[in-house]
Amino acid sequence: MALRVVGVDPGLTRCGLAVVDVEPNRRASLVDVTVVGTSPDTPLDQRLLAIAEGIDAWLDQHCPDVLAVERVFSQLNVSTVMGTAQASGIVIVAAARRGIPVALHTPTEVKAAVTGSGQASKAAVGKMVAKILRLAEPPKPADAADAAALAITHGWRGAAPGSQASTGVTAGSSGLTPAQRAWAAAEAATRQRG
């Protein structure tokens, strides 16, 4: 049975949402994708309300097994980090109200899981998302492709039967693909940084 994952690339201006079904054999299929957007000129309370209404409708429509949300990390622009964190909080609360588990993945983990390199460009991630999901081109805008990448990452690594998380496979284990080794190393580095 497929694991239904909603990936969320949080943001106040563009919050990417993707629904991906991941089968035990790792075959991933895109179910739906969208972006909830608000104008920077809109008052903050209204921006957060728009995201809340968008994620509520999305979760009610798609009934996922789990949410995969991009983990907020330090950037140079504090206001961008704050907006991302606020949007993430809205999404996490919406999931909690429905009893849907939430997993957080760093951008480096996602890049490594999808492309094999934690340093991959957005374009490389989009290209691999399209290939994995058997699409002619990556979902647009990039926030939608990033949300799909988050869903794929969690389905492959977070909770799908036979995934690393369910078997306890580590970065040094034999039999891993280069992408699996890169992902495990990125995850270990993230844990070390706290």
- The domain limits of the chain are 1-190
Q: Evaluate if residue 190 carries a pLDDT over 80.
A: no
Question: What number is the average pLDDT over the span 21-38?
Answer: 95
Give CA separation, 57 vs 9, 91, 98, 100, 138, in Å.
16, 11, 12, 14, 24
Q: Which residues are annotated as a binding site for Mg(2+)?
A: 9, 70, 143
Q: Which residues are annotated as a binding site?
A: 9, 70, 143
Question: What number is the average pLDDT over the span 138-152?
Answer: 95
Q: Which residues are catalytic?
A: 9, 70, 143
Q: What was the pLDDT predicted at 127?
A: 95
Residue 152 one-letter amino acid: I
Q: What was the pLDDT predicted at 179?
A: 56
Q: What was the pLDDT predicted at 82?
A: 86
Q: What was the pLDDT predicted at 171?
A: 36
In contact, 29 and 42? CB cutoff 8 Å: no
Question: What number is the average pLDDT over the span 25-29?
Answer: 94
pLDDT digits (tens, 9 = 90+) for 93-114: 999 999 999 999 999 999 999 9
Question: What number is the average pLDDT over the span 43-71?
Answer: 96
Question: What number is the average pLDDT over the span 37-63?
Answer: 96
pLDDT digits (tens, 9 = 90+) for 173-185: 444 455 555 656 6
Whole-model pTM: value is: 0.81
pLDDT digits (tens, 9 = 90+) for 4-23: 999 999 999 999 999 999 99
SS3 state at 121: coil
Residue 168 one-letter amino acid: G
> Which of left, alpha, beta for 10 (phi over 0: left; psi -120 to 50: alpha)?
beta
**Whole-angstrom distance, CA of residue 179 vs CA of residue 106:** 15
Question: What number is the average pLDDT over the span 131-142?
Answer: 95
For the chain, what is the mean pLDDT?
85
Question: What number is the average pLDDT over the span 125-152?
Answer: 95
- The CATH number of domain 1-190 is 3.30.420.10: yes
